[in-house]
């Protein structure tokens, strides 16, 4: 089989890239390790920057997003027993975010790809990017025990943090940067109305908590937990009690609880690999970088990478110019590092670090007190939260 661009991974990055290329008349084949249903079974974050929405608009896959997505013009920070609203819209000249589950977005992209005749090979085994340092790259894989070769002009490694693409880069050509945080997030999904119409980021002494949602009837909550915590030790009742203990009295009172649909613990890390290009192999999304979910940047960074990469590939095939491809890594990394900074900063600000001295704990509180007292400081948070420009 032959295609112009072989995409490894059918998550948000791979699907968005495939459909942006399709819109430009460029052929792409996605090779995915898991089944369609497995990919859709993953519960991920749900805050979209306007740039991400714009890309979905551009490919014509945003109808349900505009129908069901929730426009949010503000977020709240809770500390010292009080909630403080950050007016995103006022502080950014009218910009906002849209709350819409990543699972829904992935489903919309899969449906759009199927309707447009895009080829996705699911349940492919032993997927490998090959000969990308030369002029004739290809992807090898096995399907149903039969070996396949997908010849292409370029390979997009959209296969996430644990994928094969970054692992295939020459060791002497790649540099990685990482911070693993001394805690994780215990998350619950439940069909109960959200405690508030906007997100609440809580940073009390007991630990971080986040009140989010998927719709007016489905809520997503998180509490910071130790890395040694096991999900089987967390009954729904224990989770709800801990969440209440990390909220202000009024919110704790208003909280509607119910049986969990999903409950899981995820570790937090900051990670970047440089560069994001190795010959004819280009990395995009979690394959190249990871952010702690505090800033809701993971999905949106994947969209930004794919915006740059799709533009560069279109320029190559349409105009025969490789300027965009040559600039891709530096251009993407410039935006990645700013989002890494924001996500690390908000994580450092809102979480309880067991190793922090009393002085450092006071510094955290002083940062928060200053933040909510200064329009300038809040504007800086707001412009990062709604998304820096591409």
201 part of the active site? yes
Distance CA 102, CA 205 (A): 30
3, 11, 213, 381: which one contacts ligand APR (CB under 6 A)?
11
Q: Does 14 bind ligand APR (CB under 6 A)?
A: yes
Active-site residue, selected from the candidate residues 297, 307, 316, 351:
297
What is the Cβ-side half-sphere exposure of residue 168, based on CA atoms within 13 angstroms? 29
Active-site residue, selected from the candidate residues 12, 293, 316, 328:
293
Alpha-carbon distances, residue 298 vs 125, 264, 289, 303 (angstroms) = 26, 18, 8, 9
294, 300, 311, 347: which one contacts ligand PHB (CB under 6 A)?
294
338 part of the active site? no
Distance CA 64, CA 82 (A): 35
- 30-59 residues near ligand PHB, rule: CB under 6 A: 45-47
Cβ atoms within 10 Å of 136's Cβ, excluding its own? 11
Closest alpha carbon to 1 in 150, 143, 101:
150
What are residue 198's phi and psi, to 5 degrees? -125, 165
Region binding ligand APR by CB under 6 A among candidate stretches 2-10, 114-122, 169-177, 312-320: 2-10
Binding site partner of 39, from ligand PHB, ligand APR, none, Cβ cut-off 5-8 A by kind? ligand APR
Residue 9 Cβ, how far from ligand PHB at the closest point, in Å? 21
Q: Does 44 bind ligand APR (CB under 6 A)?
A: yes
Alpha-carbon distances, residue 163 vs 113, 159, 241, 371 (angstroms) = 22, 5, 37, 38
- 269-328 residues near ligand APR, rule: CB under 6 A: 285-287, 298-299, 302
Region of 149 on the Ramachandran plot (φ > 0 left; ψ -120 to 50 alpha; else beta): beta
Q: Does 196 bind ligand PHB (CB under 6 A)?
A: no
129, 163, 187, 194: which one contacts ligand APR (CB under 6 A)?
163
Q: Does 9 bind ligand APR (CB under 6 A)?
A: yes
Residue 253 burial class via C-beta count within 10 angstroms: exposed 0-12, middle 13-18, buried 19 and up: exposed
CB 292 within 8 A of CB 272: no
Q: Does 164 bind ligand APR (CB under 6 A)?
A: yes
Q: Does 29 bind ligand APR (CB under 6 A)?
A: no
Q: Which is nearer to ligand PHB, 46 or 118 (CB)?
A: 46
293 part of the active site? yes
Residue 327 Cβ, how far from ligand APR at the closest point, in Å? 21
CB 223 within 8 A of CB 178: no
Q: Does 45 bind ligand APR (CB under 6 A)?
A: yes
72 part of the active site? yes
Give the β-pairing of 281-283 and 277-278. Answer: antiparallel
Q: Where are the beta strands (DSSP E) in 200-286?
A: 200-204, 207-213, 219-225, 260-274, 277-278, 281-283
Residue 227 Cβ, how far from ligand PHB at the closest point, in Å? 19
Region binding ligand PHB by CB under 6 A among candidate stretches 34-42, 225-233, 290-298, 368-376: 290-298
Cβ atoms within 10 Å of 308's Cβ, excluding its own? 23
Cβ atoms within 10 Å of 348's Cβ, excluding its own? 16
Binding site partner of 152, from ligand PHB, ligand APR, none, Cβ cut-off 5-8 A by kind? none
45-72 burial by CB neighbour count: b if 16+ within 10 A, else e?
bbbbbbbbbebbeebebbeebeeebbeb
389 part of the active site? no
Question: Which residues lie near ligand PHB (CB under 6 A)?
Answer: 45-47, 199, 210, 212, 220, 293-294, 296
Instruction: Give contact residues for ligand APR (rule: CB under 6 A).
Output: 8-14, 31-34, 39, 44-45, 102, 127, 158-160, 163-164, 285-287, 298-299, 302
**Catalytic residue IDs:** 72, 201, 293, 297, 385
């Amino acid at each position: 089989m032959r295609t112009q661009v072989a995409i490894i991974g059918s998550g948000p990055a791979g699907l968005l890239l495939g459909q942006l290329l399709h819109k430009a008349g460029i052929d792409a084949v996605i090779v995915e390790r898991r089944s369609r249903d497995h990919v859709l079974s993953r519960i991920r974050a749900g805050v979209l920057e306007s740039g991400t929405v714009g890309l979905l608009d551009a490919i014509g896959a945003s109808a349900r997003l505009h129908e069901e997505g929730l426009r949010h013009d503000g977020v709240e920070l809770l500390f010292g027993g009080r909630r403080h609203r950050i007016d995103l819209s006022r502080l950014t000249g009218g910009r906002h975010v849209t709350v819409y589950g990543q699972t829904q977005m992935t489903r919309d992209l899969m449906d759009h790809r199927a309707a447009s005749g895009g080829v996705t090979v699911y349940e492919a085994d032993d997927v490998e990017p090959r000969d990308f340092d030369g002029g004739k790259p290809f992807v090898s894989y096995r399907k149903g025990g039969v070996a396949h070769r997908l010849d292409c002009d370029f390979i997009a490694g959209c296969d996430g943090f644990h994928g094969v693409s970054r692992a295939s880069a020459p060791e002497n050509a790649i540099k990685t940067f990482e911070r693993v945080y001394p805690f994780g997030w215990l998350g619950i999904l439940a069909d109960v109305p959200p405690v508030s119409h906007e997100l609440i980021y809580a940073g009390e002494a007991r630990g971080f908590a986040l009140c989010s949602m998927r719709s007016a009837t489905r809520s997503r909550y998180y509490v910071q937990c130790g890395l040694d915590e096991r999900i089987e030790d967390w009954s729904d009742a224990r989770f709800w009690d801990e969440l209440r203990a990390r909220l202000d009295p009024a919110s704790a009172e208003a909280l509607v609880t119910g049986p969990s649909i999903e409950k899981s613990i995820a570790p937090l890390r900051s990670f970047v690999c440089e560069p994001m290009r190795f010959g004819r192999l280009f990395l995009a999304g979690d394959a190249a970088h990871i952010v702690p979910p505090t800033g809701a940047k993971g999905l949106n960074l994947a969209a930004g990478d794919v915006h740059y990469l799709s533009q560069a590939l279109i320029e190559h095939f349409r105009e025969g110019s490789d300027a965009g491809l040559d600039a891709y890594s530096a251009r993407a990394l410039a935006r990645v590092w700013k989002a890494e900074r924001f996500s690390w900063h908000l994580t450092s600000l809102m979480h309880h670090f067991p190793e922090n001295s009393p002085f450092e704990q006071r510094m955290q509180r002083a940062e928060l007190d200053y933040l909510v007292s200064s329009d300038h400081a809040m504007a800086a948070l707001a412009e990062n939260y709604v998304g820096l420009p591409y």
